Structure formats: C-alpha cells, structure tokens
Structure 1
Amino acid sequence: MIVQNEMYSIDQRKMKQGIEKKQIYFDGKTPIPVSLTPFLIDKCKYDHLVSKSELVLEAMETFLRIYIEYEDIQKHFPELSVFRELSKVKPEYKYWIHLARFDVTETIDGSFKLMETNCDCPGAILWVSYIKQIYEDLDIFKEISSKYEINAQATDDPRLFIKSLIDVYKEVTGKNQDPNIGFLSSEYHPVLTDLDLLEKLAASMGLSAKHIPIQKLQSVENLPGWDNKPLQMAFHKFDAFIDENDQFKYCLYEESVSEVEEYWNGLKNNQFIYVNSFPSAMVAENKRILYLLKDKHIQSFFSEKQKEAIDMLIPETFSLTSQKLDQVKEVINNKDQYVLKRVIDTRGRGVILGKFCPADLWSKHVNQAIDKPFIIQKYIDQSKKIINNPNVDPTQISVYQSLALYLIKGKASGLLCRSSIDPITNVGKRGAVQPAYIISEREI
C-alpha cells in the first residue's frame, strides 16, 4: 500500500511528531524513521512461521543444556574460551532464552529463512507497540482496518516484556511482591535502545525500576543497587564482539572486573536474577548455532518436528576450515550465492554479502576467514519492495525487508518489519521501520 499526496504529508508529519514525543530513538538519541507503508502478512502464513520458529527455539533450549554438559560441544565455540565458565552458568528459570528476536527473510517463493537468532539482548521490543499506537491514529490506518481484519499480537500491550520479568522473579524466588528492576547497560561500548523507554514504562506501572550502567551500581546493604534500593531483577543489555585475538569480548567491562565490582560480586553470589542467561547471550546468540542445529549427532537430541522446522527455516550455514579447501574454493568462485558473517557482532557489523562485493576483495575476506570465528551462509535472494520514503516527502523508495519476530518465554509475541535501501536491513545502516500487521480477509 503506497500513500500519496496530501494525506501522506499530513500522516507522515504526525508520525514523525509521534516518534519524537514518545522518544523512540535508535540507541537513545536518534529518532527512528518509520514508513507509512505497512507490512501486511496473512494470518495463515504468519501462524506457519510462528509454529516453525517456536520449534527451532525449543531445539535451541535443548542445545544450551547439551552445551553446558559436554566438552566436545563446547569445543565448537573456541572464541568463548575466556568466558567459558560464564557461558555455562545454569539459570534457575525454565526458559534460558527469555527474550529472542529471530531475524527472518522472506524469499522470492514466499517461504521464510532464519538469518540470525538474536538471543543476547535484542532491542526495539517496545517499538512494536509504540509505533502501532501512533500509526493507528492516522488516516491511512482507517483504510487498512476497513479492508482487513487485524489480528492481535501479544506485544500490542507494551507492558508484556516487563510483566515477563516480574513473572521470572516470582517464579524463582516464590515471592509475591514486585521486584526492583534494573535495566542494565555498560559504559564500555554502550547499547541503549529501549532502556530509557523501559524505565519510563515501568514507572508508569508503579514499579521501582532504573536504567543504570553497571559501573554506577552502589552497595545497598551489601547488595548491588541504587538510591537505597537493592537490585532484584535485571535485564542485561551489553554489547559483544570478536576482538583482535579472535576471542569473544563481552562488554561488561573494559579491562577488569574491578570496574564493575558491585555488579560482579552480586552476580557471583546470586544476589539478583537476570535475563537473558549467559548461555543464551554467548551460545544461542553465536551464529555457529545455526549450523550446529543441523548436525546429525546433535539432532539426535531433537524431536522429529523440531528437526523438520530446523531444516525448513535455517538456510545452509557452515564454517570455513583448512580441512575443507574445496568448500573454500566453492565459496570464492560462487560469491553471489554466499554471505560471510562474524559469529558474534551486532547492528549489521561483520557481514559481507558476496553479491555486492568485488571478486578480489571477496576472495581476500573468505581466505582470511578460514579457521576463524566466521560462518558462511547461503545468500537468500528476495524481491525488493516499494515503500513510502519516511525521510523525503512525498517520494517512494525501493527497499530490502526483513522481519523481526520477538519470542518471549518460548512463544512468538510480536512482529516488526525493518527495511533499507542497503541489503543489510539494519536501522543503523540507512534503515527504517514499517509497522507490521497480521491480517485476515474480512468476510463479506
């Protein structure tokens, strides 16, 4: 659906004003661009995607339990050696992957492929409901809602995620009162998307909550906290990357744990509950899991339905090794068919698309990735779509799209569409957001 002329101009202005009023910012400072062109997905198609995604997530939960038990599985993740013990800390709650955001691409034939799992600290969950709240006050939405039946998403209630944190706290402690909630970031490589919004939303719910860098936590009766309030429930939002030694760097601190002493002591002594778990943040987040889920030995732990969902949803993915140089040659000679990705990175960093890379440079990148923390993934071709440009009034642009499917406590909960003129569809890379709706045809 393309909006034009005067209605477009008025609605686009209202959208921008709404984004700024609600302070929906990328990384806490840049208002996100939102196109007036919605992403509409048929309910049957969405339900199929959800059923397969939830089965893959179940298998990932099983994989994490295998990982902490078996050293031969841990060896598949050499970049985690520095943080190995932390990556094996078993949480006390049922869903080790409390919050995930599956980044999914729709192929030319209409099927879906899972490109990344995002099980560390996926961002923008509040954008789903907040953007729709603004959008549904616009004239364009009246046209959509008159034509289609709009199906509810759990994330239509912005309180959903915070309520899930409270549920985990009560599940683990057996206590009935609401906890003090810390939305924790780090001063080292800070990532801030959602955190201020979550703090404001929690306050509106009558909760004691704060967005605070872990370097600023104080001692409150020998517990980490702030303003005389001990931290009881935490949502971790820490960046991560692969350093120059090919090791996983989790951005809790820059040099040593002494920089985050109150947090670290509280962590070691189990003085607060936190999500996501470290196995989720370090192992389920790691892109190696995409090919390990297809490993025949590992699949012996999965149900037939889980294996079917994995085979259907996850594209061909593998690592490059010096033991398989024929495979390396295949990737170099057929660059348009492959994508090179660093196993841990965020915001579209560390991703090289062979189709858009000069042959000599592609060959160099691939050779440098042999026996290194990278994966190769089959390139998924997709049709570009025409949407209203959120930045220039009133023009249209041709974009690539990807879907962000949020899953909370094992269940699909909401959908967001990201679009970009860049084939890497990240808001930080010339990207925008489209409100996503699950639709059914109205009965006549």
Structure 2
Amino acid sequence: MDVEKLTSKYIEIVKSDENRFYKDYLRAVEAVANSSAIYKGKPVPFLYQLMFFTKEDLEIFKNIGKTMISITNKVVNKYKESPDFRKKFGYSKLLEDLILTDHGYDVNVPIGRFDIFYGGSDNFKFCELNTDGSSAMNEDNTIGRILLETESMKIMKEEYSISYFELIYKWVDESIKIFNKFNPNIEKPNVAIVDFDESGTPYEFEEFKKAYINRGYNAVIADPRELKYIKGSLYYKDIKIDLVYRRIVTRELIDRSEEIQDFINAYRDKAVCVIGPIKSQIMHNKIIFKILHEEDVQKMFTEEEKEYINKHIPYTDVFSGHRSVYDEVLNNKDSYILKPMDLYASKGVYAGRDFTFDEWKKRLDECWGKDYLYQEFCVPFTRDFVEFEDGKVKVSKFGHIIGLFMYNEELAGMYTRIGKNNIISGVTDYYAVPNVLVE
C-alpha cells in the first residue's frame, strides 16, 4: 500500500464536493475548540486531514526506535562507568549526582519522543530526542478521534480499515509495569503527575489523571513544590505518593532545585518511583548528537549502529572555539541551523535559510560561545495536505516532523507536526496532524 496514493485518494474525495466537506471541516473546528486539545489556552491548530501510515511504515518506525534505544542504553552505561565520558556532557555536580542515582528499575528512558524527518524506508534523519517532559499525546488522540468521524474519513473507511494509536491508557499501563519492577508489593500505587504549575500542560495532565483513575489508581496532579518528604515517604497533602509520572523537564528541575528539595531527596533515597529517571537527560540534551559522532565514542557501537548514526544523525558540533567554526557557519548559512543545548519547544532555534547574510551574522555574534550547537540543516520531507481558503479547497505541500513515541522501550504511536517554514514547531506556524494506520 502506498501512502502517496492514499493521500491523493483522500484529497480527491474532499475536492469532489468542497461545499459539503467545508461545512464538515467547520464542525470539526468547533468540536476541537470544545475538546481537551488545548495548548496555552488555545485550540491546537489542525487541518482537515490525517497522516496516513502503512504497516510497512510502522515496522520501519519500530526498527528506528529499537536501534536508538540500543544506542541509548550503551551511552547511559558508559556514562555510569566512565568519569572521562561524563566530562563530554559538562553537567553540573547536582545533575551528575542525580543521573548516577539508582532509580530502582532497569529502564533508562521509559518514555521518549524521537523526532525524525521521514521520507519513507531508510530515508530519514533525526531532528531531536525528547525524553523527560515528552508531550502531545492528548492532542494527537483527541483530534484524531474527531477527524476519524468526519464525512470524508467515513468514505475512506468504506474501503480501508483505519485506526489511531491510543496513547493515554497505553502509557498508564506501561508505567504500572515499570512501577511493578520498582516495587512489586504495592498493587495499587498512588500516582502523582508532577510539573510546575506554570510550565505544565493541564488539559493533557487531566486526561492522564482520568485514565489512571479509570484503571483503578488514585491519581493527582501536583506541583513539585507541594510535595513533602516525611519519615521516608513522599506526600502530596495527606496522600502518600508511590509513583511520580515526571513531566518536569530536567533543565527546570535543576534550575529550580532549591524550591523542590523534598522531591529531590525522596528521589535520591529511592523513596518513590520516578518515571522517567534523571538519567534520561543524557539523551535529551542536544549535545548527544555531537557526542555520538565522536570517534572514541563510536567504538562502543556495533557496525550497524555506527552506520545508523553516521547516516541518520545530522552532523552537530559546539558553536565556539576556533574562528574557522564561526566562518564556516557564517559563509554557508543555508547548510546550518543553530540550536541551544538544552532548551525545548524550538526556543532559540535559528535556521540560516531564514536570514539574510547580515541578519545571520548578527545571530551568530549573539550565540557564539554561549552554549549553542551548530547542526547540519535537514530539509523536511513534504506531503500534500488539504486547506480551505474562503470555503474553497486548496492543496499545499507541507514539511513534516514525525515524533516516535517510545513507551517502555517499544513504539507506542506518533505525533506529527507540519508547516511551510524551515523550522516546524509550536513557536512557528504549524498544524498538528493525527496519525493513523491504514490497512
């Protein structure tokens, strides 16, 4: 089965009666506005189209994830064993100590979203690896369910079996499996979904909370400042917490560590199961792409893994040091993108193609020697999507980034963003496109 043909077939359906399907699109817009697919107070932007994938795509994604998990585990083990290897990351003493803390179960990255540019088969490049704080499961599932009930998709479903990738309950079930490794003696752990109030995604947190409760667990959403460590147990108000689903990104956890000492001490003492562990930061920080390309590091990998890294992980290095680095990035601006080492949601990311030479030089001067990386620019692959302009169908090419959700080291589903800009993210013009399997 060919996704291009599936996409063309869907577009022809919509074009066949644009007035009918425009009205249906407006109904979907209203449904999303009244749903939990809300980000920063606004409905998540979407189009009247899903992202179609086949079983063949799914097998490729499973293999991409499996190989990256294998690489991840080797890197984490090396970090634990080698003080010299740790120096490559430049982490603070606090962060290094927390990474080296035994977290009580055998999974280093229990949840992650590995973002890739995907052109089919073996034609893909990584954009970044998200571990702690991985998000957007709810918006994919919520918008996906709405679009699957549209009139255009009902026509598609007459010919194909089409299903979405459920991501909320699946995570609940996988997190409980991990907890059982940490403590098999507590049958019904009390769960806290933890992030700073001002940083979290409350609509998504509520969906996870409901899912835990529906599975029979007591669950709360907690700011880490509200957690108290008393006589060897972590409490939220009068509730003893057994499992923390950590949504605090590590950068913020470290920056605000003085505010959350009870939580940190409970983690150090293994008094609570924290999913994911601070170890996941090893792969989350963007400097990992530089480190994976280093010759001495590649000795720990198989030939297959080395080939995978060299082919699919874009060349990355620190934007500092010798002036030749600055000159290379300045004079070849269309070939590079600048990224801060450890910010998220594409904050502070600049693509040379978006600037004139003088504008690019100004950006480089601002970023030189300041915890920035320069990276090979990857041109996003494109796919045709339906838009409506004044009620009329317009078909446009959009670049896309596909996030592979990994739960407990297995592929769980995807999150796709599309856009027409060189950077596709929540801080630029983008749309979320739910993912479905077509059989």
- TM-score category of the 2 structures, normalised to the smaller one: 0.7 to 0.9
Residue of structure 2 in register with 1:406 after alignment: 405
**Structure 2: where are the runs of 5+ without partners?**
1-9
**So what's the TM-score if we normalise by structure 2?**
0.87
Cα distance, 1:35 vs structure 2: 1.3
2:346 to 339, 345, 348: 348
Distance 1:136 1:109, change over 3 A: closer
SS at match of 1:83: helix
Residue of structure 2 in register with 1:310 after alignment: 309
Cα distance, 1:211 vs structure 2: 1.0
> 1:52-71 counterparts in 2 under 5 A?
52-71=64-83
> In the alignment, residue 269 of structure 1 is paired with which amino acid?
D
> 1:67-78 counterparts in 2 under 5 A?
67-78=79-90
Q: Distance in 1 between matches of 2:384 and 2:71?
A: 36
1:378 to 363, 376, 379: 376
User: CA offsets per residue over residues 29-51 of structure 1, 9 Å max, x none?
Assistant: 32212211222234324422431
Is residue 366 from structure 1 mapped to residue 376 from structure 2 by the alignment? no
Residue of structure 2 in register with 1:203 after alignment: 213
Residue of structure 2 in register with 1:98 after alignment: 110
Cα distance, 1:228 vs structure 2: 2.5
Given that 1:113 and 1:315 are in contact with CA atoms closer than 8 Å, whether structure 2 keeps it comes out as yes
Q: Distance in 1 between matches of 2:155 and 2:267?
A: 51
Given that 1:191 and 1:239 are in contact with CA atoms closer than 8 Å, whether structure 2 keeps it comes out as no
Distance 1:102 1:86, change over 3 A: same
Cα distance, 1:61 vs structure 2: 1.8
Residue of structure 2 in register with 1:156 after alignment: 166
Deviates more, 1:230-239 or 1:82-91: 82-91
> 1:402-441 counterparts in 2 under 5 A?
402-440=401-439
SS at match of 1:194: helix
SS at match of 2:307: helix
1:387 to 385, 399, 409: 385
> In the alignment, residue 175 of structure 1 is paired with which amino acid?
N
Distance 1:309 1:335, change over 3 A: same
Is residue 357 from structure 1 mapped to residue 359 from structure 2 by the alignment? no
> In the alignment, residue 171 of structure 1 is paired with which amino acid?
K
Q: Distance in 1 between matches of 2:48 and 2:272?
A: 42
Distance 1:399 1:157, change over 3 A: closer
Q: Distance in 2 between matches of 1:15 and 1:45?
A: 27
Residue of structure 2 in register with 1:244 after alignment: none
Is residue 32 from structure 1 mapped to residue 44 from structure 2 by the alignment? yes
User: CA offsets per residue over residues 365-419 of structure 1, 9 Å max, x none?
Assistant: 3355444422221111235544234897555455321111111111111012111
Residue of structure 1 in register with 2:5 after alignment: none
> 1:226-265 counterparts in 2 under 5 A?
226-239=236-249, 249-251=251-253, 254=256, 257=258, 259-265=259-265
Cα distance, 1:276 vs structure 2: 1.4
Q: Distance in 2 between matches of 1:208 and 1:425?
A: 37
Deviates more, 1:414-423 or 1:401-410: 414-423
Given that 2:228 and 2:234 are in contact with CA atoms closer than 8 Å, whether structure 1 keeps it comes out as yes
SS at match of 2:153: helix
Q: Distance in 2 between matches of 1:239 and 1:52?
A: 24
SS at match of 1:11: helix
Residue of structure 2 in register with 1:88 after alignment: 100
Given that 2:109 and 2:276 are in contact with CA atoms closer than 8 Å, whether structure 1 keeps it comes out as yes
Given that 1:192 and 1:237 are in contact with CA atoms closer than 8 Å, whether structure 2 keeps it comes out as no
The structure that is helix-richer by fraction is: 2
Distance 1:203 1:378, change over 3 A: same
> In the alignment, residue 6 of structure 1 is paired with which amino acid?
N
Given that 2:191 and 2:241 are in contact with CA atoms closer than 8 Å, whether structure 1 keeps it comes out as yes
Q: Distance in 1 between matches of 2:255 and 2:374?
A: 30
Residue of structure 2 in register with 1:8 after alignment: 21
Q: Percent identity?
A: 17
Q: Distance in 1 between matches of 2:102 and 2:39?
A: 32
Distance 1:342 1:162, change over 3 A: same
Residue of structure 2 in register with 1:185 after alignment: 195
Q: Distance in 2 between matches of 1:111 and 1:193?
A: 35
Is residue 296 from structure 1 mapped to residue 295 from structure 2 by the alignment? yes
Cα distance, 1:81 vs structure 2: 4.8
Given that 2:39 and 2:201 are in contact with CA atoms closer than 8 Å, whether structure 1 keeps it comes out as no
Q: Distance in 1 between matches of 2:189 and 2:390?
A: 45
Cα distance, 1:355 vs structure 2: 0.7
Given that 2:353 and 2:422 are in contact with CA atoms closer than 8 Å, whether structure 1 keeps it comes out as no
Count of residues in correspondence between the two structures: 425
**Structure 1: where are the runs of 5+ without partners?**
241-248
Q: Distance in 1 between matches of 2:433 and 2:346?
A: 18
Residue of structure 1 in register with 2:319 after alignment: 320
Residue of structure 2 in register with 1:246 after alignment: none
Given that 1:105 and 1:403 are in contact with CA atoms closer than 8 Å, whether structure 2 keeps it comes out as yes
Cα distance, 1:352 vs structure 2: 0.4
Residue of structure 1 in register with 2:138 after alignment: 126
Q: Distance in 1 between matches of 2:199 and 2:111?
A: 21
Distance 1:252 1:372, change over 3 A: closer
1:165 to 171, 175, 178: 175
SS at match of 1:418: strand
Distance 1:402 1:326, change over 3 A: same
Given that 1:55 and 1:305 are in contact with CA atoms closer than 8 Å, whether structure 2 keeps it comes out as no
User: CA offsets per residue over residues 193-215 of structure 1, 9 Å max, x none?
Assistant: 62122112222222200111111
Is residue 144 from structure 1 mapped to residue 160 from structure 2 by the alignment? no
Cα distance, 1:341 vs structure 2: 0.5
**So what's the TM-score if we normalise by structure 1?**
0.86
SS at match of 2:158: helix
Deviates more, 1:295-304 or 1:334-343: 295-304
Given that 1:185 and 1:212 are in contact with CA atoms closer than 8 Å, whether structure 2 keeps it comes out as yes
User: CA offsets per residue over residues 239-269 of structure 1, 9 Å max, x none?
Assistant: 46xxxxxxxx424664x52x33432332232
Q: Distance in 1 between matches of 2:120 and 2:331?
A: 24
